[in-house]
Amino acid sequence: MKEKVCVIVGGGKGMGAAVAREMNKRRYRLALMSPSENCEKLANELDGIAVRGKAENAADTQALFDATMEKYGRIDSLLIHVGGPPKGDLLDIADEDWIKANEMVLLPVIRMSKLVTPIMKDQGGGGSIVNITTFSAFEPSLTFPTSSVYRVGVSSFTKLYSDRYGSNNIRMNCLLPGFTDSLDLPQKFADMSTFKRLASAEEQARAAAFLLSDDSTYITGQSIRSDGGVTRHM
């Protein structure tokens, strides 16, 4: 049986790095990307490969997929975890920052779907794509206006993609985390959770790994909240 391969965009630190470690425990081979040397250090530790780059740069993501196919010859799972887009008071946000948010959040998901789908179709057996977004995709927050707008777009694209490529056994889901300890957050954010604490990056990583792996083969097109009860949407 061929070794399975997981590509992680945003896999240098925090939640992305935690997912890399979790997938390594599940015996997946890894290809990581982040803007800094962190992805290279982690790839070296986990016997994977790394390409420095940004999700919003099409040339960088192309280089990552090319390197992965050259090294492993297949891609079974893809995690897309992008950085936070610009913030500000709703109508004070410049047009350029709304455009930048789109380029950071939504367009990378579409571009990488175009790259990975032919690979997953051709190799047989399908695959799984997971987009890390945010709880505020369901309940928009004025604290994160551009993120709220464009990440709900990711959820919509996810549903459309799952409808289109389910017959190829390719799944796509969104994981919507709440406030996590990989960020330096004040206590007021922890208090928003039912548990009165932040999630650990490792907790979120286990949820992501479930969706990325064959443990969730009948789940697709879903936006699954892992927010500690912050949202009230049912």
Is residue 135 included in any domain, yes or no?
yes
Q: Is residue 233 in a domain?
A: no
Structural domain includes residue 182: yes
CA 165 to chain centroid: 19
Q: What are phi and psi of 2, to 5 degrees?
A: -70, 145
> Quick check: is 84 in a domain?
yes
Is 132 part of a structural domain of the chain? yes
Domain count along the chain: 1
**How high does pLDDT run on average in the chain?**
94
Q: Using an 8 Å Cβ cutoff, are 208 and 17 in contact? A: no
Instruction: List pLDDT tens digits, range 73-131.
Output: 999 999 999 988 999 999 999 999 999 999 999 999 999 999 999 999 999 899 999 99
Identify whether 127 is part of a domain: yes
Give the integer Cα–Cα distance in Å for 142 and 139.
10
75 falls within a domain = yes
Q: Could you report the per-residue pLDDT of 178-215, keeping only the tens digit for each?
A: 888 877 787 887 888 889 888 899 999 999 999 999 99
Q: Tell me the per-residue pLDDT of 46-85, one tens digit each, with 9 for 90 and over.
A: 999 999 999 999 999 999 999 999 999 999 999 999 988 9
231 lies in a domain?
no
The pTM for the full model equals 0.95
Host domain of residue 41:
5-226
| CATH number for 16 | 3.40.50.720
